[in-house]
Amino acid sequence: MFESSVYSSRRRQLIQRMTAGTVESSRGIAVFVGNADAAMNYRGNDYKFRQDSSFLYFFGQHRDGLVGVIDCESGVETLVGDEIDIDDIVWYGSVTSVVEMAQQSGVAETAPMAKLSELVAAAKAQGRKVHFLPPYRHDTMIQLMDLTGIHPSQQKAEASLALINAVVKLRSKKSAEEIAEMIYERHELFRTWLTSLGVDEKIASEDAKKSAAIAEYEAELQKKNYEEQLLQERKLFIQNKKLEKKT
């Protein structure tokens, strides 16, 4: 995890991009739903947890069951999540509280998950838009339906174009910290794999540097292609909607 100032800066830049857009985007709230644990064959036997990348980018926390809310108008940021209960503490031991995680992410406000629907309902009652990114997990789709009333089949179409554009522009440009972290992680992955095959430590380290650089280049190409495809699909949807209104 980076310093809290990194995440605060990212969220501040996001707000600036949102407020520079339409009145609708500047008066809304942005909701980033973190991932939940995914069970393999019964509750408690989960797949290895992987956090939603956009939530991770703006809030930096790897724990399940968290939601980040950013008020684009007031600038108030809230980390929503329930504290770990005693059953989980028995298995995991000492854990970081939601308040502590918020401090690590540079977020001033926290709230239990039961308050999330109130935050969203208050924004909707004021005629403000609830911005969210296209969901890709079914549990997230159900959670968004509970919050917004938008059926999962319509959520991709109803996802906020303003938020998509703002997030894409921010995440497309990597900071020095991000680049250093990605290079180090890939280097360690390749080095560990090569040494497990019996390759000399020094040779493995040198080969890992080359492999990590190649992997980084290929990953950036794939990410760029996906982002361009997402934007094109959204633009096509808007064009079709305009044609439907004319006819």
> How many C-beta atoms lie closer than 10 Å to residue 140's C-beta?
21
H/E stretch holding 169: helix 161-172
Whole-prediction pTM: 0.74
156-201 per-position pLDDT tens digit? 999 999 999 999 999 988 777 777 676 667 767 777 877 888 888 8
Which CATH topology does 4-170 take?
A: Creatine Amidinohydrolase; Chain A, domain 1 (3.40.350)
From the number of C-beta atoms within 10 Å of its C-beta (0-12, 13-18, 19+), residue 118 rates as exposed
Highest mean pLDDT among 82-86, 160-164, 186-190, 203-207: 160-164
Chain centroid to CA 59: 8
Q: What is the pLDDT of residues 93-133, one digit of tens each?
A: 778 899 999 999 999 999 999 999 999 999 999 999 999 99
Each domain of the chain, given as residue ranges in start order, spans 4-170, 174-246
